[in-house]
Chains A and B, each alone.
Chain A
């Protein structure tokens, strides 16, 4: 905790290390910036908070239509089942997508760590690995959508398996999440390239942590979508 503070403020050390309720009052009332972090990181947190609201509203809307639907809700376990080598495995595609995304979160966390250690090469490698895993996730989602549209006949306004609201909720929620992953892959690629070029040698590597926050958030949202949309 003590080493966590950027050394920019000229507060005395005693005040700086107090992270309790008095510390909160002091953070908000003192004549200095309230949040002890680079402004870019705070802006990313605030963006992610706003994104939390958007995803929550989508999931709440999905809950609402599912509760009020008269037709039976399609069984997601069967809808997303695959037959691999003659074995019928329920929900297996979504499970693999979950593992891919969690692994990408792990490689991203390591990239942040290596960035702060000043290990540029490893940072770039781990960020590239993260971007590739993200691209793999989007690829699998494209496969999922294609299968659902072409083979199962699911549309935003209806589907042969039951409640019409299923399609609307599915394309809205997974589409918005997939868009976030795609944007994240581009974001990662851009920052990784700039790290490789040495653009942050003087500025410091906070940008890698900020990019990481975005990427972990995408993984975090998937945890909720996995639970509420696919497992329910």
Chain B
């Protein structure tokens, strides 16, 4: 893989990155996956488990989006289209969490009273 000494003829209007960049990200994703698997393997619990799982998840998702899907090199106009609408999902998650707790409490109450 000595692509570096051959000047690649990129398609017009496309920015080329070295293959080594993708290999590095791939190794990084592998390491992050292993770490999140180890969280389960060593049966970490509570807040530590929560935060570690979320940190590794967001790091992995970030690298896939930024490098593999080339979002880093896209214009802001596209980034806005990709990242603004999902804010509605955050609202949905919060509302469904509230609703889930409410359902649980009601089930608990009817369980106690019956």
* Pick from A63, A70, A110, A232: contact of B107, CB under 8 Å: A70
Chain A: minimal CB distance from B100 (Å): 3
**How far is B78's CA from A34's CA once the two chains are assembled, in angstroms?**
9
Indicate if B5 sits at the interface (CB-CB under 8 A): no
> Separation in Å of the B47 CB from the closest CB of chain A?
13
Task: Report B-chain residues with C-beta under 8 Å of the C-beta of A212.
Answer: 68-69
Instruction: Considering the complex, give the chain A residue whose CB is closest to the CB of B41.
Output: A90
B64's nearest neighbour on chain A, judged by CB, is A220
Which of A49, A98, A110 makes the CB contact (< 8 A) with B33? A98
Task: Specify which chain A residues have a CB less than 8 angstroms from the CB of B49 in the assembled complex.
Answer: 231
| B26:A102 contact, CB within 8 angstroms | yes
10 residue pairs from A and B, CB less than 8 Å apart = A4-B14, A56-B92, A67-B104, A102-B33, A109-B26, A110-B22, A113-B22, A117-B3, A220-B61, A223-B57
* B interface residues, Cβ below 8 angstroms from A: 3, 8-17, 19, 22-23, 25-26, 29-30, 33, 36-37, 39-41, 43, 49, 53-54, 56-57, 60-61, 64-65, 67-70, 73-78, 80-82, 85-86, 89, 92-93, 96-97, 99-101, 103-104, 107-108, 111
